[in-house]
């Protein structure tokens, strides 16, 4: 591809603020700039530049830094190498001069040609055509909204006359020249709006910048603060790396959620949008950044209405209707960047000009604003601010706000938020300390809803302590590290007696003046707390009995409670063998989440429910259905998509169950590294165990052993019984892959425990694994268990067990097909191999041919890739040598002499050869070997 460049000021220049350069380390070596993402946009632009395209090019619309110039360069480099490209760049300076953007071309025209626009058009067209020398011409226009009208006219006429095709980039299409607007309306140019990069594209770009893998949680955080803008993303990556918000954990870059970032580079990339504003407008933007939302009426008391209108028109402000009109920043990321740039004096100055509003501003941001200027928090603001911070998952901020107002802790409501902050951060010891220290206050507030909430969360803390693995369980009368344990409530049900106390308190609240909405919310929390307690201890029968009654109430529960409680029921059904019921419920719950208003299930509770549903399907063997839910909701939307570390863990477990070790490791290792930074849910052991299995299957034994040690170490949080059981499943499989003789006995012991607990899906998984590892004595038990479990996986295991037990190749093939259909790739392959072995041993040549034919079809090999070689590969090297000599007519005696073995040994080998190759004589053997020789000589093998 040849380019015509100007030597002057109007030539196209690369500006790092506009064009991402993630491959800088590689570019120093002279390689082309790395371009990532936007594959569909690249295809669309390239198609519109071809000779047979219906249009003559396209208009790219996107904000500064969105990657328009990089996309144009990539398309030209990859798809238009044979074209002649003319670069034109609009600018405010050149736009004040007629033909200013084309000055570098006008200087090459004859003087008498540059006297009239028509002559200029003709002269430029001839000049460019001459230089193109028959090649197609592409006009590339950057900052096209700043072209002067004469330059725009000339360029548009070249497109209209079909003399050239065009790609033009705009930041603001409303300011486009009228000529370009006309080309768009007439269909000559196609408009393409560049949206933000997807989460996957942001991850790719971040990894290119960091020159290493990044966890999904870190990538999503970067995508959020940058808005998916490539230039801003690169700036954010540098800022996060410098301040330690992202750091290396092993081989992976992970997010440190406790590190508050500074944004020097991102501020430079984002704040150019506000650089030309007046002081009053700056004041308003900064005040809104500090408190989130302000009433329009209050703003207009301090700011000019014209300034507010101008900010709205520029897209910086958003007007919404709450109980009154309120203003906020249109881009929350801009607020975070602005806050990072304001020192204490500036914050104090803004507080005196326009402070937060108690009825509309964000309590969280308002509390932080007050604390940053060392001001006294208004009554109730610490509790409200901590509550909002907890709801948004920023538990560190919640604890910091309450620490800034120690007097607030005389209130049960503030204590509740402090305990929630500790539990959310995985600091269960700190949560238990707070509950112990303030027990008198909690029990002396009988008509306070917060006291009921404290009892619920106290049960959660006690529940996590009591469900610890046996090796980690605290001694009687002692808690973590010897700290006195919380006294267990009296009653036969142990710590769950706290929930019964909460139920009694809730009943008294129903009879008090507490608003019904508050008591209804507490009732929902109680339902979910009891369901979580049953699940955490692996008491799925109790959960089914409890939740079935709840689920029967249907729409009466409200969408959120129906989904969250339904996720626990889905887990109980799946684990106890009711796989079909679980799958049907999972689909309906996922649809409810997909149809819900945006943000309804994007909090920690909704995310955990999604992961629980996916895990339930994985345990029940419904891998294909789990993959479909992870990819998109049943409604075809991505609103219910699971993200973060939980998504990586679910993806990794899916690949591990399917038998895709490389894909599993690619997800599990970044997730495991992120969990090393923070693991409040206790996910690390399961992730490490599955990663160990993936490493062992790949032959990376040293790494697998290290991962098994990681899995056995104490984690940040205490996992539920199901998660512990999943981790143990993969740990045993990893040990088996490492050659441990204990693997099969351990699997059978796990199956015994599963049966006692009625966790039949786990039992089925354990028995299947034991049989696959060679425990032929467990085939009958596998058959019995598979007949008691619903769903396609149960049927698959039944066919597999029957096929092994009766040496029926057809049943094994049926099981292999079912396994492949439902995503169990390794199981499908192993079962197919076993079917071939059974058919070969039985002399079933028709089935053997069928299997080989299917293999060729699946691998897209031709019939010429004969099955003969597959058969010959089944012989030992000595058997292969004897077979070839016998096929050539050499006598047994001569073969024995040449190989220095006895004639009887030759005869024994020939018997084995005939059996393996399903032939009955030397003639048939000769025909088979001749076919193999022909294929090899033809270069087919």
The terminus-to-terminus CA distance of the chain in angstroms comes to 42
CA pair distance 548, 569, nearest whole angstrom: 7
pLDDT at 119 (0 to 100): 83
In the predicted model, is pLDDT for residue 289 greater than 70? yes
Residues 323 and 359 occupy one common structural domain = yes
Burial of 482 (0-12, 13-18, 19+ CB in 10 A): exposed
Query: What pLDDT does 20 receive?
Result: 34
| 135 and 51 housed in the same domain | yes
How far is the C-alpha of 721 from the C-alpha of 686, rounded, in Å?
Answer: 11
Q: Is the pLDDT of residue 151 over 80?
A: yes
Asked if residue 44 belongs to a domain, the reply is yes
Which range (2-16, 139-153, 246-260, 926-940) has the least confidence? 2-16
Q: What is the mean pLDDT of residues 836-864?
A: 70
174 vs 19: CA distance, rounded Å? 22
Q: Do the beta carbons of residue 355 and residue 333 sit within 8 Å?
A: no
**Lowest mean pLDDT segment, chosen from 74-88, 251-265, 605-619, 900-914:** 900-914
Q: What are phi and psi of 58, to 5 degrees?
A: -150, 160
Out of 340, 375, 410, a domain closes at 375
Tokens 């307690």 belong to residue: 533
Domain membership flag for residue 910 = yes
The helix or strand, by DSSP H or E, that contains position 613, with its residue range, turns out to be: helix 604-619
Using 50, 70 and 90 to split pLDDT, how confident is the model at 873? low
Of 61-65, 93-97, 282-286, the range with the highest mean pLDDT is 282-286
Q: Looking at mean pLDDT, say which of 441-455, 699-713, 855-869 comes out highest.
A: 699-713
Whether 295 has a pLDDT exceeding 90, the answer reads yes
Give the pLDDT band of residue 898 (cuts 50, 70, 90).
confident
Q: How far apart are CA 685 and CA 376, in angstroms?
A: 44
Task: Quote the pLDDT of residue 161.
Answer: 87
Does the pLDDT value for residue 294 go beyond 80? Answer: yes
Across the range 867-892, mean pLDDT stands at: 75
Within a domain: residue 527? no
* CA neighbor of 905 nearest in space, from 892, 894, 923, 917: 892
pLDDT for residue 940 is more than 50: no
Per cent of the chain over pLDDT 70 is 87
pLDDT at 123: 85
> Which of 341, 375, 409 is a domain's end point?
375
DSSP state of 808: -
Q: Are 817 and 828 in contact, with CB atoms under 8 Å apart?
A: yes
Angle between helices 701-712 and 721-737 (to 10 degrees): 150
Is residue 634's pLDDT more than 80? no
Q: Does the pLDDT of residue 253 top 80, yes or no?
A: yes
- Look at residue 715 in the predicted model and tell me its pLDDT: 62
CA distance 910 to 330: 82
Distance CA 593, CA 488 (A): 38
The pLDDT value given to residue 597: 86
pLDDT of residue 114: 64
**477 pLDDT exceeds 50?**
no
| Lowest-pLDDT range of 64-73, 234-243, 352-361, 795-804 | 64-73
Distances (CA, A) of 252 to 542, 668, 671, 677: 41, 11, 9, 11
- The model's confidence at residue 934, banded by pLDDT at 50, 70 and 90, is low
Instruction: Give the model's pLDDT for residue 839.
Output: 84
- Its sign, for the CA torsion 662, 666, 668, 669, is positive
| Residue 300 falls inside a structural domain | yes
Q: Measure Cα distances from 400 to 221, 403, 421, 817 in Å.
A: 21, 5, 10, 57
Residues 147 and 23 in one domain: yes
Where is average pLDDT lowest: 23-32, 111-120, 492-501, 675-684? 23-32
Task: Determine the pLDDT at residue 414.
Answer: 93
Q: Using 50, 70 and 90 to split pLDDT, how confident is the model at 778?
A: very high
Its pTM stands at 0.81
My answer on whether 184 and 213 are in the same domain is no
153 and 7, same structural domain? Answer: yes
Q: Averaged over 841-853, what is the pLDDT?
A: 77
163, 49: one domain: yes
CB 651 within 8 A of CB 662: no
636 has pLDDT over 80:
no
**CATH code of residue 291:** 1.10.10
Specify whether 312 is located in the same domain as 294.
yes
Per-residue pLDDT of 520-569, as tens digits, reads 999 999 999 999 999 999 999 999 999 999 998 888 888 999 999 999 99
Mean pLDDT of 385-399: 94
Determine, yes or no, domain membership for 825: no
CA distances from 298 to 305, 332, 367 (A): 11, 21, 19
Give the integer Cα–Cα distance in Å for 794 and 409: 54
187 and 73 co-located in one domain: yes
In a 3-state reduction of DSSP, which class is residue 192? strand
Q: Which long-range contacts (CB under 8 A, 24 or more apart) does 629-637 make?
A: 629/586, 629/587, 629/590, 630/654, 633/590, 633/591, 633/593, 633/594, 634/587, 634/590, 634/591, 634/594, 635/591, 635/594, 635/595, 637/594
Name the residue with tokens 């294909």: 624
In a domain, 307, yes or no: yes
Q: 124 and 26: one domain? A: yes
- Residues 126 and 221 grouped into a single domain: no
Predicted local confidence at residue 58, as pLDDT = 92
- The predicted pLDDT at position 445 comes to 65
What is the per-residue pLDDT for 858? 62
**Among residues 855, 816, 810, which one has the least CA distance to residue 832?**
816
Judge whether 813 lies within some domain: no
Residues 339, 253: one domain? no
Q: Which domain holds residue 905?
A: 866-937
Pairing outcome for strands 165-170 and 137-142: parallel
Q: Tell me the C-alpha distance between 582 and 585, whole Å.
A: 5
- Gyration radius of the chain over CA positions: 35
* 352: pLDDT strictly greater than 90: yes
> Burial, 115: exposed, middle or buried (Cβ in 10 Å; 0-12, 13-18, 19+)?
exposed
Which segment, 41-55, 436-450, 728-742, 925-939, is predicted with the most confidence on average?
728-742
Is there a domain that residue 188 lies in? Answer: yes
DSSP-H helix ranges across 133-249: 149-160, 178-185, 199-210, 216-226, 230-243
Which tokens hold the place of 384?
């409200």
pLDDT in tens, 722-767: 999 999 999 999 999 999 999 999 999 999 999 999 999 999 999 9
Is residue 446 very low, low, confident or very high in pLDDT (cuts 50, 70, 90)? low
Domain count, the chain: 4
Residues 6+ apart with CB under 8 A from 937: none
Report, as an integer, the average pLDDT of 504-518. Answer: 86
Q: In what order do the strands lie in the sheet with 137-142?
A: 2-4, 84-89, 137-142, 165-170, 57-61, 190-193
Confidence of residue 388 (pLDDT cuts 50, 70, 90): very high
Backbone angles phi, psi at 167, to 5 degrees: -120, 120
Mean pLDDT of all residues in 578-588: 95
Q: Which residues pair with 329 in a beta bridge?
A: 317
pLDDT-wise least confident of 261-275, 359-373, 602-616, 787-801: 261-275
Residues 185 and 285 occupy one common structural domain = no
Residue 375: which pLDDT band, with cuts at 50, 70 and 90? confident
Residue 821 has pLDDT above 60, yes or no: yes
Arithmetic mean of pLDDT over the chain? 84
Torsion 201-206-212-218 (CA) sign: negative
Short-list 503, 505, 556, CA closest to 533 = 503
Q: What single-letter DSSP state applies at residue 427?
A: -
How many angstroms separate the CA atoms of 241 and 234, rounded? Answer: 11
List the CATH number of the domain containing 880: 1.10.10.10
Nearest to 222 by CA among 243, 245, 244, 242: 245
């Amino acid at each position: 591809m040849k380019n015509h460049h100007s030597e002057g000021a109007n030539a196209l220049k690369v500006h790092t603020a506009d064009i991402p350069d993630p491959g800088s380390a590689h570019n120093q070596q002279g390689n082309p700039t790395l371009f990532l993402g936007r594959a569909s946009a690249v295809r669309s632009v390239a198609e519109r530049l071809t000779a047979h395209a219906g249009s003559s090019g396209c208009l790219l619309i996107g904000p500064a830094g969105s990657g328009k110039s990089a996309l144009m360069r990539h398309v030209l480099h990859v798809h238009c190498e044979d074209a002649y490209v003319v670069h034109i760049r609009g600018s405010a300076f050149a736009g004040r001069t007629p033909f200013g953007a084309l000055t570098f071309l006008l200087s090459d025209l004859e003087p008498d040609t540059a006297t009239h626009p028509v002559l200029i058009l003709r002269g430029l067209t001839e000049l460019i055509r001459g230089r193109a020398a028959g090649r197609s011409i592409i006009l590339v226009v950057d900052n096209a909204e700043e072209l002067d009208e004469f330059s725009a006219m000339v360029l548009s006429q070249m497109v209209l006359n079909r003399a050239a095709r065009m790609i033009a980039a705009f930041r603001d299409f409303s300011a486009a020249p009228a000529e370009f607007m006309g080309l768009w309306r007439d269909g000559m140019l196609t408009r393409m709006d560049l949206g933000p990069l997807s989460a996957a594209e942001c991850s790719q770009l971040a990894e290119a910048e960091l020159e290493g893998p990044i966890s999904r949680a870190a990538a999503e955080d970067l995508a959020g603060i940058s808005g998916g803008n490539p230039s801003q993303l690169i700036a954010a990556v540098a800022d996060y790396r410098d301040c330690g918000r992202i750091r290396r954990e092993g081989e992976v870059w992970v997010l440190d959620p406790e590190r508050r970032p500074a944004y020097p580079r991102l501020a430079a990339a984002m704040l150019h949008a506000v650089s030309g504003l007046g002081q009053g407008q700056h004041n308003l933007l900064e005040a809104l950044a500090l408190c989130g939302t302000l009433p329009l009426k209050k703003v207009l008391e301090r700011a000019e209405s014209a300034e507010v209108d101008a900010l709205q028109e520029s897209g910086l402000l958003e007007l919404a209707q709450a109980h009154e009109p309120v203003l906020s920043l249109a881009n929350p990321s801009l607020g975070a960047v602005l806050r990072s740039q304001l020192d204490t004096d500036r914050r104090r100055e803004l507080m005196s000009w326009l402070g937060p509003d108690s009825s509309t501003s964000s309590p969280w941001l308002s509390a932080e604003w007050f604390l940053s200027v060392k001001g006294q928090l208004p009554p109730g603001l610490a509790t409200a601010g901590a509550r909002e911070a907890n709801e948004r998952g920023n538990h560190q901020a919640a604890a910091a706000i309450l620490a800034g107002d120690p007097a607030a802790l005389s209130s049960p409501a503030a204590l509740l938020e402090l305990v929630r902050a500790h539990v959310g951060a995985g600091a269960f010891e700190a949560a238990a300390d707070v509950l112990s220290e303030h027990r008198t206050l909690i029990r002396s507030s009988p008509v306070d809803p917060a006291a009921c909430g404290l009892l619920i969360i106290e049960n959660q803390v006690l529940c996590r302590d009591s469900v610890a693995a046996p090796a980690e369980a605290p001694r009687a009368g002692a808690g973590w590290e010897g700290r006195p344990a919380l006294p267990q409530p009296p009653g036969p049900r142990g710590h769950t007696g706290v929930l019964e106390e909460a139920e009694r308190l809730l009943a008294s609240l129903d009879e008090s003046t507490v608003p019904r909405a508050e008591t209804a919310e507490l009732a929902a929390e109680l339902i979910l707390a009891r369901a979580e307690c049953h699940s955490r201890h692996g008491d799925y029968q109790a959960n089914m009995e409890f939740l079935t009654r709840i689920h029967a109430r249907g729409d009466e529960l409200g969408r959120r409670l129906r989904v969250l409680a339904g996720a626990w029921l889905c887990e109980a059904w799946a684990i106890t063998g009711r796989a079909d019921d679980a799958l049907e419920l999972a689909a309906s719950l996922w649809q409810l989440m997909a149809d819900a208003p945006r943000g309804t299930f994007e909090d920690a509770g909704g995310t955990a429910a999604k992961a629980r549903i996916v895990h339930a399907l994985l345990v029940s063997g419904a891998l294909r259905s789990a993959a479909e839910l992870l990819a998109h909701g049943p409604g075809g939307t991505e609103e219910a998509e699971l993200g973060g570390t939980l998504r990586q863990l679910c993806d990794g477990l899916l690949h591990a169950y399917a038998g895709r070790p490389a894909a599993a490791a690619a997800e599990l290792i970044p997730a495991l590294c992120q969990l090393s930074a923070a693991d409040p849910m206790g996910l690390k052991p399961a992730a490490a165990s599955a990663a160990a299995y993936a490493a062992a299957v790949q032959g990376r034994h040293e790494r697998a052993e290290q991962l098994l040690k990681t899995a056995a170490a104490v984690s940040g949080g205490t996992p539920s019984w199901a998660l512990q059981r999943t981790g143990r499943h993969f740990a045993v499989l990893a040990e088996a892959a490492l050659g441990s003789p204990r693997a099969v006995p351990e699997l059978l012991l796990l199956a015994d425990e599963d049966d006692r607990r009625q966790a039949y899906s786990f039992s089925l998984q354990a028995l299947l694994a034991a049989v696959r590892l060679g425990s032929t004595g467990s085939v009958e038990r596998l058959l019995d268990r598979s007949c008691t479990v619903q769903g396609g996986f149960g049927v698959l295991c039944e066919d597999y067990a029957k096929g092994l037990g009766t040496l029926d190749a057809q049943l094994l093939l049926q099981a292999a097909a079912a396994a492949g259909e439902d995503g169990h790739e390794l199981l499908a392959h192993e079962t197919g191999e076993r079917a071939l072995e059974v058919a070969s041993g039985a002399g079933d040549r028709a089935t053997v041919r069928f299997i080989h034919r299917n293999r060729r079809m699946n691998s897209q090999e031709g019939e010429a890739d004969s099955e003969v070689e597959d058969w010959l590969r089944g012989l030992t090297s000595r058997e292969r040598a004897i077979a070839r000599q016998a096929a050539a007519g050499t006598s047994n005696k001569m073969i024995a002499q040449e190989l220095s073995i006895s004639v009887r040994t030759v005869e024994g080998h020939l018997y084995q050869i005939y059996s393996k190759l399903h032939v009955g004589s030397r003639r048939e053997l000769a025909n088979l070997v001749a076919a193999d020789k022909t294929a090899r000589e033809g270069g087919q093998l």
